[in-house]
Structures are given as C-alpha cells and as structure tokens.
Amino acid sequence: MEKKVNDSSSRRKFIRRFGLGLGSVAVAGSAAVAAGSSGSGSGETVMLLSADGRLVEVDRASIRIAKAETREQRKKSHMGIPSRKFVMVIDLAKCKNARKCVDACQEGHMLPRDHEWIKIQLLQDSGMTGKYWFPKPCYHCDSPLCVSVCPVGATYKRDDGIVLVDNKRCIGCKFCMTACPYSARVFNWKDPEVDLPKDHVYDPELNVPPVEGTVGKCVFCADRLRNNELPRCVKACPMGVIYFGDLNEDAVTNGAETLRFSSLMVDRFGYRYMEELGTMPSVYYLPPVNRMYPVEIGFEDLDESVSDRYKPRETKKTAKTKK
C-alpha cells in the first residue's frame, strides 16, 4: 500500500516536471492514507476507500490528511455534494442590519473591507410602503445568466445548486457582472494583498485568496457544506435571520431551529426576489411583516461610511460638489 502511494506520487512529480497537464494521476480528493508505518498503532482501525476504489482497513493513528493540490481541488469543486440541492431562506422580518453576516463572510474569505459578498440593502418597494433591511447574497440561480455568458467556463453551476467562480480560470471580462441582474458579483480592482497561511491550497469552494483582475462572489460556503457545517453568515447572524438547508430533505435551519421548507414557504408567503426575471434563485425571502424591530434600529452603531450609504440617493451634481 505504502509503496503504491509512493509510486504514484513520484510519477506525478515526473509529469509535473515535464509540464504535461495530464490531469491527476494519483490520489484524488483530500484524504490519503499512509498506512502501517511502525508498530505504534492505536489499535483502533477504520475502514477507508482507497484511490483505486477498494475498501481498506487501517490503523487510526497512521492516518494523516494528505495535502491536496490546487488542480485537484479545482476539479473537485466542479462536483456538487451528492443528492443535495441547497436552498437559503432569509427572514426579512428579523433582520436589523447587525452586519455580523457581512463581517463573518469577509473574515472567512479574506475579503478587503469594501468587498461584500453579502450586501445588506435598505429597500422600499414604493413610496408609501415601509422600508426593510434586505440581506443579499448570491442567489445561486437555477437558470444563471452569469454561467451562460462566461466565455471560458470560469463560473459554473453544480448539481447541488451552487454556482462557483474559479479565479484561476477567470479572465476578468466582467460579462458575468453585467449579466447578473442582482449585482451579486464583485471585481478585484487591485491586488487584495492577503496573508495566506503557509500551506494554503486554492479551492474555488472557499475561493481564497481573491485574485486581482478576477471576479468574486458568495459561494454559499461550499467548503463548510462539505463538512456538514452551516455557511458563515448563517452561523454569525445573531437574529437567526438566515436559514439554510436542503430542498431534497425539505428542511432549513438557522442553527437554532429547523423548519420544514415547503410549509414555511406556504405559511409565511415566501417569495424569490424578482421572480419575473426567470433566473430561478435558490434564495427565498420571507416578507418583512410583523417585524421584531423597527427599521431604524439598523442605523445604530454603524460606521458613518456605512450609514451614509442608506441616505437618499445623491444626484451627480451634489455628489461632485461634496467631493
């Protein structure tokens, strides 16, 4: 077994040295096994699937997680998590612009401060109606225009519903940004200059680090979903505004309570933003009725630069004189 792993890794080195992009030869995925080294086993064995598809039994103490490679990670990120169809529900009645989701997202994805993969907008549907806070991640549409227009396949839709961007492929044409009707995408206008951990491997599911001249957006925290964890914004929200779940299981959770998705949609009149555009988002909203907080509470404890955003839109002239 050990011999085999060594063999293939030396072969891989060989191929890499000669620059032949023949795809991954050896151990795909992230967990590989280096088994049976010395006698210091724990005595406890586990069953694992080897690279050639056989079930093997190894000692727990001798398992180490092999360092995955960028190419393999990128390839893996194209495969959705089997039999899942992820869905998000945002309860507008609970949101008070605490912005914890924004912070958690920026921290987790090493984003510059002015890069928001989840934005919180202050919306008002028409002059006489009430204002409400409107968290807006990427909608991971089932009919995503951004994916259709990408000339190089840098952005793709997986069978678990997630739309990802591979920033090692992205050429930065920004066509996806003009195609997205929800302005969900952001562009890295300059080098973001992030300090990466030493052994960091690029994976589109986390999409760190942001690369200058490429497009980034919310990834539904696909990396955490792989480990059966909730997305960062869901976890960070103190109000439990954001529910996340699986359409196949018909269940969504905000970490505190788990609800049946279908009955939630029926009972609370769930809707998708701008359904009429036909993009079929995977993000549903619950209308901002019977609100727990007045909308003004969202202006408390905000940076001036943030609270100024929500003031009535300036015209070009006044904005210029201000500048």
Burial of 256 (0-12, 13-18, 19+ CB in 10 A): exposed
Beta-bridge partners for 119: 136
Q: Which is nearer to another protein, 3 or 190 (CB)?
A: 190
Distance, CA of 292 to CA of 91 (rounded, Å): 11
Q: Which is nearer to another protein, 228 or 315 (CB)?
A: 315
Judged by CB under 8 A, the stretch of 188-196, 198-206, 217-225, 254-262 that binds another protein is 188-196
The neighbour count for residue 194, using CB atoms within 10 Å, is 13
- Tokens, residue 199: 């052994």
Tell me: does residue 67 bind another protein (CB under 8 A).
no
Q: Which member of 105, 150, 222, 259 binds another protein (CB under 8 A)? A: 150
Question: Which residue in this structure is represented by tokens 């003031």?
Answer: 311
HSE at residue 79, side-chain half, CA atoms within 13 A, is: 9
Q: Map the footprint of another protein across residues 33-62, applying CB under 8 A.
A: none
Q: Which member of 129, 183, 248, 263 binds another protein (CB under 8 A)? A: 183
The answer to whether the beta carbons of residues 92 and 133 sit under 8 Å apart is yes
Tell me: does residue 296 bind another protein (CB under 8 A).
no
Encoded one letter per residue, x for contact with another protein by CB under 8 A and - for no contact, window 85-124 reads ----------------------------------x-xxx-
Q: How far is the CB of 57 from another protein (least distance, A)?
A: 41
Q: How far is the CB of 143 from another protein (least distance, A)?
A: 11
- Tokens, residue 74: 């990128």
Q: How far is the CB of 147 from another protein (least distance, A)?
A: 8
Report how many residues bind another protein under the rule CB under 8 A: 51
Distance, CA of 309 to CA of 186 (rounded, Å): 17
Judged by CB under 8 A, the stretch of 55-63, 181-189, 243-251, 252-260 that binds another protein is 181-189
Q: Which member of 6, 10, 143, 148 binds another protein (CB under 8 A)? A: 148
- Tokens, residue 126: 């028409």
Residue type, 250: D
Beta-bridge partners for 187: 215
Judged by CB under 8 A, the stretch of 33-41, 86-94, 101-109, 182-190 that binds another protein is 182-190
Closest by CA to 91, choosing from 308, 293, 307, 227, is 293
Q: Which member of 28, 56, 145, 302 binds another protein (CB under 8 A)? A: 145
Q: Which is nearer to another protein, 92 or 251 (CB)?
A: 92
Burial of 183 (0-12, 13-18, 19+ CB in 10 A): exposed
Q: Which member of 133, 187, 244, 285 binds another protein (CB under 8 A)? A: 187
Q: Which is nearer to another protein, 146 or 222 (CB)?
A: 146
Q: Give rounded-to-5 percent helix, strand, coil for the chain.
A: 25, 20, 55
Residues 6+ apart with CB under 8 A from 182: 136, 138, 139, 273, 274, 281
Q: How far is the CB of 291 from another protein (least distance, A)?
A: 20
The answer to whether the beta carbons of residues 205 and 230 sit under 8 Å apart is no
Cis peptide upstream of residue 209 (ω within 30 degrees of 0)? yes
Q: Map the footprint of another protein across residues 245-274, applying CB under 8 A.
A: 274
Point out which residues bind another protein (CB under 8 A).
119, 121-123, 136, 145, 148-153, 169-175, 177-179, 181-183, 185-191, 211-215, 274, 277, 305, 308-310, 313-316, 319-320, 322-323
